Chain A
Amino acid sequence: QSALTQEASVSGTVGQKVTLSCTGNSNNIGSYAVGWYQQISHGAPKTVMFGNSLPSGIPDRFSGSKSGTTASLTISGLQPEDEADYYCSTWDYSLSVQVFGGGTKLTVL
Protein backbone atom coordinates (compact mmCIF):
# COMPACT_ATOMS: atom_id res chain seq x y z
CA GLN A 1 0.00 0.00 0.00
CA SER A 2 1.43 3.36 -1.08
CA ALA A 3 1.92 6.23 1.34
CA LEU A 4 0.30 8.53 -1.21
CA THR A 5 -3.16 7.76 -2.63
CA GLN A 6 -4.00 8.37 -6.28
CA GLU A 7 -7.03 7.45 -8.36
CA ALA A 8 -6.49 4.16 -10.16
CA SER A 9 -7.89 5.54 -13.38
CA VAL A 10 -9.19 8.75 -14.86
CA SER A 11 -10.51 9.39 -18.35
CA GLY A 12 -11.37 12.39 -20.43
CA THR A 13 -12.05 13.49 -23.98
CA VAL A 14 -9.80 15.57 -26.18
CA GLY A 15 -9.96 19.21 -25.15
CA GLN A 16 -11.45 18.46 -21.74
CA LYS A 17 -9.90 19.53 -18.42
CA VAL A 18 -8.99 16.71 -16.05
CA THR A 19 -7.59 16.80 -12.53
CA LEU A 20 -5.58 14.05 -10.91
CA SER A 21 -5.21 13.99 -7.15
CA CYS A 22 -2.55 12.77 -4.74
CA THR A 23 -3.51 12.50 -1.08
CA GLY A 24 -1.09 12.11 1.80
CA ASN A 25 -0.74 13.52 5.28
CA SER A 26 1.03 16.21 7.26
CA ASN A 27 4.26 14.21 7.27
CA ASN A 28 4.60 14.32 3.49
CA ILE A 29 2.40 16.40 1.18
CA GLY A 30 1.55 18.78 3.99
CA SER A 31 5.24 19.62 4.43
CA TYR A 32 7.11 19.22 1.13
CA ALA A 33 6.93 19.99 -2.57
CA VAL A 34 5.24 17.36 -4.73
CA GLY A 35 6.56 16.03 -8.02
CA TRP A 36 4.39 14.65 -10.82
CA TYR A 37 5.69 12.18 -13.38
CA GLN A 38 4.29 11.03 -16.71
CA GLN A 39 5.09 7.49 -17.85
CA ILE A 40 4.00 6.62 -21.37
CA SER A 41 3.73 2.94 -22.32
CA HIS A 42 6.07 1.78 -19.54
CA GLY A 43 8.85 4.07 -20.77
CA ALA A 44 10.99 6.25 -18.53
CA PRO A 45 9.13 8.67 -16.26
CA LYS A 46 9.22 12.33 -17.22
CA THR A 47 8.73 15.06 -14.64
CA VAL A 48 5.82 17.26 -15.70
CA MET A 49 5.44 19.33 -12.53
CA PHE A 50 7.24 20.04 -9.28
CA GLY A 51 5.44 22.13 -6.73
CA ASN A 52 3.54 24.45 -9.00
CA SER A 53 6.48 24.89 -11.36
CA LEU A 54 6.60 23.62 -14.92
CA PRO A 55 9.86 22.02 -16.10
CA SER A 56 11.30 23.32 -19.34
CA GLY A 57 9.61 21.83 -22.37
CA ILE A 58 6.39 20.80 -20.64
CA PRO A 59 3.26 22.35 -22.20
CA ASP A 60 1.53 24.98 -20.11
CA ARG A 61 -1.71 23.03 -20.22
CA PHE A 62 -0.21 21.19 -17.22
CA SER A 63 -0.57 22.91 -13.86
CA GLY A 64 -0.11 21.89 -10.25
CA SER A 65 -1.57 22.91 -6.93
CA LYS A 66 -1.75 21.80 -3.32
CA SER A 67 -4.30 22.24 -0.58
CA GLY A 68 -3.39 20.89 2.83
CA THR A 69 -2.46 17.25 2.38
CA THR A 70 -3.75 16.85 -1.18
CA ALA A 71 -1.86 17.77 -4.32
CA SER A 72 -3.44 18.04 -7.74
CA LEU A 73 -2.25 17.91 -11.33
CA THR A 74 -4.59 19.56 -13.82
CA ILE A 75 -4.39 19.11 -17.57
CA SER A 76 -6.37 21.75 -19.42
CA GLY A 77 -7.13 20.95 -23.02
CA LEU A 78 -6.42 17.23 -22.90
CA GLN A 79 -4.48 15.86 -25.87
CA PRO A 80 -4.17 12.27 -27.15
CA GLU A 81 -0.46 12.28 -26.30
CA ASP A 82 -1.32 12.91 -22.63
CA GLU A 83 -2.53 9.32 -22.28
CA ALA A 84 -0.15 7.80 -19.76
CA ASP A 85 0.37 6.67 -16.20
CA TYR A 86 0.93 9.56 -13.79
CA TYR A 87 2.72 9.24 -10.47
CA CYS A 88 3.19 11.71 -7.66
CA SER A 89 5.93 11.78 -5.05
CA THR A 90 7.22 13.78 -2.12
CA TRP A 91 9.41 13.38 0.93
CA ASP A 92 8.02 11.82 4.09
CA TYR A 93 9.92 12.93 7.17
CA SER A 94 8.50 10.28 9.48
CA LEU A 95 9.54 7.49 7.13
CA SER A 96 12.66 9.32 5.85
CA VAL A 97 11.93 8.29 2.29
CA GLN A 98 10.82 9.77 -0.99
CA VAL A 99 7.34 8.23 -1.22
CA PHE A 100 5.39 7.61 -4.42
CA GLY A 101 1.72 7.24 -5.13
CA GLY A 102 0.41 4.09 -6.76
CA GLY A 103 -0.17 5.89 -10.06
CA THR A 104 -3.19 6.99 -12.09
CA LYS A 105 -3.86 5.61 -15.55
CA LEU A 106 -5.13 8.49 -17.66
CA THR A 107 -7.12 7.46 -20.72
CA VAL A 108 -7.94 9.94 -23.48
CA LEU A 109 -11.21 8.92 -25.10
Chain B
Amino acid sequence: QLQLQESGPGLVKPSETLSLTCTVTGGSISSSGYYWGWIRQPPGKGLEWIGSIYYSESTYYNPSLKSRVTISVDTSKNQFSLRLSSVTAADTAVYYCARHISNVVTSPPLYWGQGTLVTVSS
Protein backbone atom coordinates (compact mmCIF):
# COMPACT_ATOMS: atom_id res chain seq x y z
CA GLN B 1 0.00 0.00 0.00
CA LEU B 2 1.54 3.26 -1.12
CA GLN B 3 1.84 5.85 1.64
CA LEU B 4 3.08 9.43 1.57
CA GLN B 5 4.14 11.45 4.60
CA GLU B 6 4.98 15.14 4.69
CA SER B 7 7.55 16.53 7.08
CA GLY B 8 9.10 19.90 7.79
CA PRO B 9 8.86 23.01 9.98
CA GLY B 10 5.39 24.05 11.02
CA LEU B 11 6.36 27.69 11.40
CA VAL B 12 8.26 29.84 8.90
CA LYS B 13 9.08 33.52 9.16
CA PRO B 14 7.96 35.97 6.48
CA SER B 15 10.44 36.40 3.61
CA GLU B 16 12.12 33.07 4.44
CA THR B 17 11.96 29.79 2.51
CA LEU B 18 9.47 27.05 3.26
CA SER B 19 10.95 23.56 2.87
CA LEU B 20 8.96 20.34 3.04
CA THR B 21 9.79 16.72 2.28
CA CYS B 22 7.48 13.92 1.27
CA THR B 23 8.63 10.40 2.15
CA VAL B 24 7.17 7.62 0.03
CA THR B 25 6.76 4.09 1.37
CA GLY B 26 5.28 1.03 -0.26
CA GLY B 27 6.62 1.96 -3.67
CA SER B 28 9.67 3.42 -5.37
CA ILE B 29 9.72 6.90 -6.84
CA SER B 30 12.42 5.92 -9.32
CA SER B 31 11.00 2.66 -10.62
CA SER B 32 7.41 3.71 -11.01
CA GLY B 33 6.28 5.94 -13.85
CA TYR B 34 4.23 8.56 -12.10
CA TYR B 35 4.16 12.26 -11.47
CA TRP B 36 4.55 13.35 -7.84
CA GLY B 37 3.17 16.67 -6.71
CA TRP B 38 2.36 19.22 -4.04
CA ILE B 39 -1.05 20.73 -3.32
CA ARG B 40 -1.98 23.19 -0.59
CA GLN B 41 -5.12 24.34 1.21
CA PRO B 42 -5.25 27.63 3.12
CA PRO B 43 -7.34 27.45 6.30
CA GLY B 44 -11.03 27.38 5.45
CA LYS B 45 -10.38 27.53 1.71
CA GLY B 46 -10.11 25.21 -1.27
CA LEU B 47 -7.27 23.26 -2.84
CA GLU B 48 -4.48 24.79 -4.95
CA TRP B 49 -2.01 22.81 -7.06
CA ILE B 50 1.59 23.95 -6.55
CA GLY B 51 3.50 21.75 -8.97
CA SER B 52 4.57 18.23 -9.92
CA ILE B 53 7.71 16.32 -10.89
CA TYR B 54 8.50 13.18 -12.88
CA TYR B 55 11.71 11.56 -11.59
CA SER B 56 14.10 14.49 -11.88
CA GLU B 57 13.42 14.95 -15.54
CA SER B 58 10.35 17.04 -15.84
CA THR B 59 8.71 19.58 -13.59
CA TYR B 60 5.56 21.63 -13.94
CA TYR B 61 4.70 24.54 -11.66
CA ASN B 62 1.63 26.66 -11.10
CA PRO B 63 2.41 29.88 -13.02
CA SER B 64 1.17 31.93 -10.07
CA LEU B 65 3.94 30.43 -7.89
CA LYS B 66 6.55 29.49 -10.48
CA SER B 67 9.03 32.21 -9.60
CA ARG B 68 9.21 31.02 -6.00
CA VAL B 69 8.83 27.22 -6.27
CA THR B 70 11.30 24.37 -6.68
CA ILE B 71 10.33 20.70 -6.54
CA SER B 72 13.04 18.06 -6.52
CA VAL B 73 13.45 14.30 -6.09
CA ASP B 74 15.95 12.33 -4.01
CA THR B 75 15.66 8.78 -5.30
CA SER B 76 18.22 7.46 -2.78
CA LYS B 77 15.86 8.40 0.04
CA ASN B 78 12.63 7.79 -1.90
CA GLN B 79 11.61 11.35 -1.18
CA PHE B 80 10.60 14.45 -3.05
CA SER B 81 10.73 17.98 -1.75
CA LEU B 82 9.16 21.41 -2.02
CA ARG B 83 10.88 24.73 -1.56
CA LEU B 84 8.85 27.95 -1.62
CA SER B 85 10.84 31.14 -1.24
CA SER B 86 9.92 34.61 0.00
CA VAL B 87 6.88 33.41 1.89
CA THR B 88 4.15 35.68 3.22
CA ALA B 89 1.11 35.11 5.40
CA ALA B 90 -0.78 34.18 2.23
CA ASP B 91 1.34 31.01 2.06
CA THR B 92 -0.07 29.74 5.35
CA ALA B 93 -1.78 26.48 4.48
CA VAL B 94 -1.93 22.74 4.92
CA TYR B 95 0.51 21.30 2.40
CA TYR B 96 -0.22 17.90 0.87
CA CYS B 97 2.05 15.72 -1.21
CA ALA B 98 0.41 13.43 -3.72
CA ARG B 99 1.03 10.91 -6.48
CA HIS B 100 -0.70 11.33 -9.79
CA ILE B 101 -2.63 8.52 -11.43
CA SER B 102 -0.16 8.14 -14.28
CA ASN B 103 2.99 9.39 -15.95
CA VAL B 104 1.29 12.42 -17.44
CA VAL B 105 1.04 15.64 -15.47
CA THR B 106 -2.49 16.16 -16.75
CA SER B 107 -3.72 13.16 -14.73
CA PRO B 108 -5.43 13.78 -11.39
CA PRO B 109 -3.86 12.94 -8.02
CA LEU B 110 -4.64 9.48 -6.68
CA TYR B 111 -2.73 9.04 -3.43
CA TRP B 112 -2.44 11.82 -0.85
CA GLY B 113 -0.34 12.39 2.23
CA GLN B 114 -2.02 13.34 5.49
CA GLY B 115 -0.92 16.96 5.14
CA THR B 116 1.14 19.29 7.26
CA LEU B 117 0.18 22.76 8.44
CA VAL B 118 2.71 25.47 7.74
CA THR B 119 2.13 28.84 9.34
CA VAL B 120 3.98 31.92 8.14
CA SER B 121 4.43 34.31 11.03
CA SER B 122 7.13 36.26 12.76
A residues apposed to B, CB below 8 Å = 2, 32-35, 37, 43-47, 50, 55, 87, 89-91, 93, 95-103
Contacts and interface: CB of A to CB of B under 8 A. Distances in A.
8 contacts: A44-B114, A89-B109, A91-B107, A96-B63, A97-B62, A98-B52, A100-B48, A100-B49
A98 B110 contact: no
A98 B112 contact: no
Nearest to B106: A91
A97 B49 contact: yes
Interface of B: 37, 39, 46-49, 52, 60, 62-64, 96, 101, 105-115
Given A97-B63, A98-B49, A44 B96 contact: yes
A78 to B, nearest CB: 23
Contacts of B108: 33-35, 47, 50, 89-90, 98
Given A50-B108, A95-B63, A98-B37, 20 more contacts: A32-B106, A33-B108, A35-B101, A44-B113, A44-B115, A45-B96, A45-B109, A45-B112, A46-B112, A47-B112, A50-B110, A55-B110, A89-B49, A89-B108, A91-B105, A91-B106, A98-B39, A98-B108, A102-B46, A103-B47
Contacts of B96: 44-45
A103 B46 contact: yes
Given A33-B108, A50-B101, A50-B110, A45 B63 contact: no
Nearest to B6: A44
A40 to B, nearest CB: 12
Given A32-B106, A44-B96, A45-B96, A100 B46 contact: yes
Contacts of B110: 35, 47, 50, 55
A48 to B, nearest CB: 11
Contacts of A37: 47, 109, 112
Contacts of B63: 95-97
Nearest to B47: A100
Contacts of A101: 46
A91 B110 CA distance: 14
